[in-house]
Amino acid sequence: MAEARHLVRTVAPVPQRAAAIEAALKSHGLVNDEAIAQSVHNAEDVWLPERGARVVARAWVDEAFRQRLRANGRDAVRELGIELPKHHRHLVALENTATVHNVICCTLCSCTAFTVIGLPPDWYKDLEYRSRIVRESRTVLREMGLELPPEMEVRVWDTTADTRYMVIPERPAHTAGWSEEQLAAIVTKDAMIGVARL
Ligand code: FE
């Protein structure tokens, strides 16, 4: 009888894999240093969740803006100087209420409105999250620290290449009278994905 063999898959650390991809692209003349530097700059300094937080805070204090955001997210966030890539054709703002909780995912890969809410966390890209949040959303949310009352409806939104979502969390009751800046400071990326409430 053949000896059972245990397959061990070894994967190089991320920096090593990134360097290998960069070297391969460069060797084929497919990318240059300037483009890489621009991407790193965008990822580290531009596409930050603080942008989405400003959108949420504005929607909380400005009813007319909230309506525009609901009607056409792309146009509304442009008012705050936030652009989406051309292929993100729609930005849909999903409002949490006392009875409805929204959560987003990309069952295929990692799609998010990253220029608004920031780049997706590693767990968002895991097969585990992408599959289970759809089938057993309440359980997954509980595992991530968000216990929802049984009577609250959970809506899971699957992002596509051209339709991106952001969750507008419920404004906490204790924030009455706060400035827009103070409000923006309490809005997190997790809350805009819908795995946390404020
Ligand atoms: Fe995706």
pLDDT above 90 covers what percent of the chain?
86
CA-wise closest residue to 170 among 97, 71, 78, 77: 97
**Residue range 95-141, pLDDT digits in tens:** 999 999 999 999 999 999 999 999 999 999 999 999 999 999 999 99
Catalytic, out of 27, 39, 110, 131? 110
pLDDT above 70 covers what percent of the chain?
95
CA-wise closest residue to 192 among 94, 72, 80, 79: 94
Q: Model's pTM, two decimal places?
A: 0.88
CB burial of residue 107 (10 Å; 0-12, 13-18, 19+): middle
| pLDDT score of 11 | 84
Indicate whether 3 pLDDT > 60: no
Residue 109 annotated in active site: yes
CA of 143 to the centre of ligand 1 (A): 23
Indicate whether 7 pLDDT > 90: no
CA of 110 to the centre of ligand 1 (A): 4
For residues 59 and 80, membership in a common domain is answered with yes
Q: What is the DSSP string of 101-168?
A: EEEEE-SSS----HHHH-SPPHHHHSHHHHHHHHHSHHHHHHHTT-PPPTTSEEEEEE--SSEEEEEE
For residues 38 and 53, membership in a common domain is answered with no
Task: Write out the residue range of the structural domain in which residue 86 sits.
Answer: 48-193
Catalytic, out of 39, 109, 131, 179? 109
Residue 111 annotated in active site: yes
For residues 40 and 66, membership in a common domain is answered with no
Catalytic, out of 39, 105, 106, 137? 106
Tokens 């729609």 map to which residue? 90
Confidence of residue 2 (pLDDT cuts 50, 70, 90): very low
Question: Could you give the CA distance from residue 182 to residue 108 in angstroms, rounded to a whole number?
Answer: 36
Question: At a CB cut-off of 8 Å and minimum separation 6, what does 132 contact?
Answer: 139, 140
Residue 105 annotated in active site: no
Into how many domains does the chain fold? 2
